[in-house]
Amino acid sequence: MKIYTKTGDKGTTALFGGTRVPKHHIRIESYGTVDELNSHIGLIRDQNIDTHYKEILIQVQDRLFTLGAILATDPEKAILKSGKERLNIPKIEKEDCELLESEMDEMNESLPPMTHFVLPGGHTTVSYCHIARCVCRRSERLATLLHEHEPLNEQVLMYLNRLSDYLFVLARKLTYDLQAEEIKWIPKKL
């Protein structure tokens, strides 16, 4: 299989189902940002962190591929006239969000309570988590914009929202595990 097809040389690309759209289409921006997020999560996973976090991040990366496939599908081509699904694409399930929630709950048990916002940084691995969190938020913003024009399964939006929270808690937990400094943001008084 050749990687280059030359079909996008004029600025269009094909969605699952064959529909061609401009490469700047909101659907392309949405799944492209999910792909970017997936790469950042791979970078976190490549760090010297607990094996359990790596295993969860692999599951997250798998779910992001699923989410990307959902976003890359033309909704008009996904369902046959009979109502049966034309393309065999997995779903984001409620359990996917629940896994992130339970992981956050477990990590939070060993963390001091948050009393202020924290400045991103303190350790390279922690910074990677914060960058991934920001990319996740951008992905969520793009997906909600797409949802306004072409409604998505709401589990997609929920998953991105929960994942950004998970990445924030993971950043705090890694700060704790790595004994890095967590700097509170305290606004200057006027």
This prediction has a pTM of: 0.89
What total of structural domains would you count in the chain? Answer: 1
pLDDT of residue 90: 82
pLDDT grade for 22, boundaries at 50, 70 and 90: low
Mean pLDDT of the chain: 89
pLDDT of residue 125: 97
Distance between CA atoms of 46 and 54, rounded to whole angstroms?
8
Q: By mean pLDDT, which of 84-88, 144-148, 174-178 is the weakest?
A: 84-88
Asked whether residue 11 is domain-assigned, the answer is no
Residue 154 sits in a domain whose CATH number is: 1.20.1200.10
* Tokens 């984001």 -> residue: 92
Asked whether residue 163 is domain-assigned, the answer is yes
pLDDT of residue 89: 76
Asked whether residue 158 is domain-assigned, the answer is yes
* Residues 76-129 pLDDT 10s: 766 555 555 656 778 999 999 999 999 999 999 999 888 889 999 999 999 999
The residue range of the domain holding 25 is 19-75+89-101+117-177
Q: Which positions ≥6 away from 38 have C-beta within 8 Å?
A: 61, 64, 65, 68
CB 103 within 8 A of CB 185: no
